[in-house]
Structures are given as C-alpha cells and as structure tokens.
Amino acid sequence: MSKRKLNVALIGYQFMGKAHSNAYRQVARFFDDLEVEPVLKVICGRNEENVRKAAQKYGWEEYDTSWERVIERKDIDLVDVSVPGNMHAPIAIAAANAGKMVLCEKPLANTLADARQMYEAVQKNKVPNALCHNYRFAPAVQLAKQLIDEGRIGKIYHFRGTYLQDWIVDPSFPLVWRLQKEVAGSGSHGDLNAHLIDMARFLVGEINEVSGMMETFIKQRPKLAASDDRLGGVASSEMGEVTVDDAALFLVRFDNGAIGSIEATRFALGRKNFNRFEINGSKGSLVFNMERMNELEVYFNDDPPHARGFRVLQASDSMHPFMSAWWPVGHIIGYEHTFINLVYTMLKAFDRGEVFKPDFEDGVRNQAVLEAVDISSQQKRWVSISEL
C-alpha cells in the first residue's frame, strides 16, 4: 500500500537547492502512479549556518557540510548535484563511483572534457543518471514534442531560440558566481544557451555545425558581499573582473537539414525569463515562451485556408502531459512545476529500470555544442561538432 522510499541527498542549497527540495517534497503529493516516494534525507553545503537553515526551511531531515561524507553514506540512494558548474564533475563522479543514482544540474560541466569523464563514470558504474533540463518538462513543451512526433509540423526547416533576461543590465549588479568563469564556466552561454541547445536537440535533432559570437558589455562589477536564494546578492565596494559572456549568439545547421539561430543574453531589458523558441516546418509552426509556459502557440497549415492562424493552446488540460496530476484546465502551474514533473518522470524511469532523458549522454552532446560555439566565437569561423 505505501510507496517504496528513496533517500535523496541534495548537494547545494541556493536557488536550485530550493527548487529541487520543493520537487522532492511535492512529487508524491500529486502523482498517484509514482510507486516510489523520495525522502528528503540530507542537504549539503559548505556554510554550516546556511545549510542548517536550508534544511529546516525546505524540510530536510539532516544537513551536512561535506559532500564526500554524504556520498559515502550507505542509506543514500540518489545524489542531486545542484552546485555551481565547477563542482559538478568531482561530485557526480564520486557519486557514480559510489553506485548512487545521480541527478545533475545543467550544464553538465564547465568543459567538454569534464562532461565526458562524468559520462564515463556513470557508464562504467551503470548508475541511473539524469540531467536537470527542467524546461523539457513544461507540459507545453512535451505537447510540442508530441505534435512533432505526430507529424503535425512536418519536416522542420527552422529553429529560432532566444533566451533573454535583464537581471544584470545595471552595471552596479554584483559579481555573483554566475559571472565568474572559474566557477560558472561561462555566462549567458552555459546558463541560458545550454537550455536552448537541449531544447533544440530534443525537438529538432542533433546539431551539425555552428558559427557564433560572444560579448561582455560590462567588464567590471562590484564584488559580491552576500548572495540570496534567487539570482542576486549584496554588492561590496571593491570591483572585480567579469570573466564570462553577457550575451552569446550563434547560427546552426542541424543534421537533418534544418537551420536555426540561438541567442542568450542577460541584457534585454524587460525580458525576465524569456526562454522562447519558434519552430517552422513544412506543415506547421510552434511557439513556446517560458514567461507564458502554460501556453503553446501552434499553426497548422492543413486547417481550412480561410481559418488558419496561430492557436494559443492552454496546455493545462487533463489530456496534456503531466496535467492530470495538477489542476483543472486554465488553472495554471508555474516554474517550480517543471522540476516536479522532471523528478516524477525521472523517479518513475529509475524505478522501472528505464533510461531517463535527458541524461549524461545528452549533457555531453549539449556541452559539445556549447564548446563549439566558444571555439567558433574565438576563431571567427564555423565549427563542426564532429571536430570536438
């Protein structure tokens, strides 16, 4: 009658820690058919006071300040890696070597070399592994995938992805870890383009070659005094170098002949979480925007000629992916639900011994594209993914 328990250790307690905690806490409260129930066993972070508060606030049974210690615990089934990118590889590899299931935040790593080692580790140890590209798990995105698979969009010609934000336009915004290359790996590129690349691969197919450019508009910022549980923090009076890109754009050719453009920036005033893509195919078009994540715009060319137009679907009805677990149609869900839907899908797959996508293999593929764009940007030429 009662569900099997699965003990989770969460490494990281900031913005992603908050979102992941919520997912584990909520998933079994909504998804009836999930036969396993995650237990919020231990949360881990370096700052003891902060991690203790996080454990209490988010409902974790225990906290720890050593991820090595946590990974050694026999009672832990799944390790969730929600720390900055430079720590993904050591933690995830250790977890894999310890035979744990691993969920890792995106991007998988700060370098392709790291990503490949992580992939090897989960392969070698045969541990279930997952990459946290939560946006795949918006119902409207799953519906987009379904419509493509049904053939309603036809052969895809164009993918047009932009991920626009504006939280660092102000030059006095502090130098948070997301703006430091040694921690974050890159700026808008790894943070935002990683999502678009994963989305493009999910919906269109593998990427063949890219030509890109990157730009840092504000080159110095005040160093950080203290961070918050969102994206910002308190500025100090000392200045430091911004070592990542503020914006990154690239053109792309897919293996299947489709072409596209992908752009990430944190300098688009008025755009808050404008993760938007448009797909044009031989039979129809699709538009999605995370700011209105409960909607999907769809154009079908086989509608009667006088009655064709972009439909705004409310992807929140009971027949839409994940939505029978939630609320009646039009009673929308939010950002956090993408994580819960992901965790549901992941736990069900792991429980059944099935592969969950996206996994570390996707992480490697996404990372290869990110890195190809980086090279292209430096060398001012097209770079084929097969070069890497």
Stretch that binds a second copy, among 157-165, 219-227, 235-243, 367-375 (CB under 8 A): 157-165
- The contact pattern for a second copy, residues 281-300, with x = CB under 8 A and - = no contact, is xxxxx----xxxxxxx-xxx
Measured between alpha carbons, how far is 257 from 279 in angstroms, rounded to an integer? 13
Q: Which residue intervals of 150-229 are DSSP H helices?
A: 181-184, 188, 194-203
Q: How far is the CB of 114 from a second copy (least distance, A)?
A: 27
Measured between alpha carbons, how far is 193 from 191 in angstroms, rounded to an integer? 6
> 337, 356, 365, 374: which one contacts a second copy (CB under 8 A)?
337
Q: How far is the CB of 220 from a second copy (least distance, A)?
A: 16
Q: How far is the CB of 149 from a second copy (least distance, A)?
A: 12
- The contact pattern for a second copy, residues 71-110, with x = CB under 8 A and - = no contact, is ----------------------------------------
Q: Is 167 in the site for a second copy (CB under 8 A)?
A: yes
> 74, 237, 305, 353: which one contacts a second copy (CB under 8 A)?
305
Q: Which amino acid is at 311?
A: R
Measured between alpha carbons, how far is 242 from 261 in angstroms, rounded to an integer? 26
Q: How far is the CB of 137 from a second copy (least distance, A)?
A: 14
Q: How far is the CB of 195 from a second copy (least distance, A)?
A: 13
Q: Which amino acid is at 153?
A: I
Question: Residue 40's closest CA among 5, 71, 72?
Answer: 5
Three-state SS at 122:
helix
Q: Report the residue number, 160 or 223, with the smaller CB distance to a second copy.
A: 160
Three-state SS at 368:
helix
Measured between alpha carbons, how far is 280 from 263 in angstroms, rounded to an integer? 17
Q: How far is the CB of 20 from a second copy (least distance, A)?
A: 13
Report the 10 Å Cβ neighbour count for 244. Answer: 23
Q: Is 316 in the site for a second copy (CB under 8 A)?
A: yes
Q: How far is the CB of 286 from a second copy (least distance, A)?
A: 10
Measured between alpha carbons, how far is 202 from 199 in angstroms, rounded to an integer? 5
Q: How far is the CB of 331 from a second copy (least distance, A)?
A: 4
- The contact pattern for a second copy, residues 116-155, with x = CB under 8 A and - = no contact, is ---------------------------x--xx----x---
Q: Report the residue number, 177 or 335, with the smaller CB distance to a second copy.
A: 335
Q: How far is the CB of 95 from a second copy (least distance, A)?
A: 26
The residue count for binding a second copy (CB under 8 A) is: 100
Question: Residue 195's closest CA among 281, 115, 63, 105?
Answer: 105
Q: Is 5 in the site for a second copy (CB under 8 A)?
A: no
Question: Residue 266's closest CA among 377, 173, 182, 376?
Answer: 173
- Give 6's contacts (C-beta < 8 A, 6+ positions apart): 36, 37, 38, 39, 77, 78, 347, 351
- The contact pattern for a second copy, residues 24-43, with x = CB under 8 A and - = no contact, is -xx-xx--x-----------
- The contact pattern for a second copy, residues 236-275, with x = CB under 8 A and - = no contact, is -----------x-xxx-x---x-x-x-x-x-xxxxxxxx-
Distances in Å between the Cα of 62 and the Cα atoms of 9, 266, 339, 345, 369 are 9, 36, 22, 26, 38
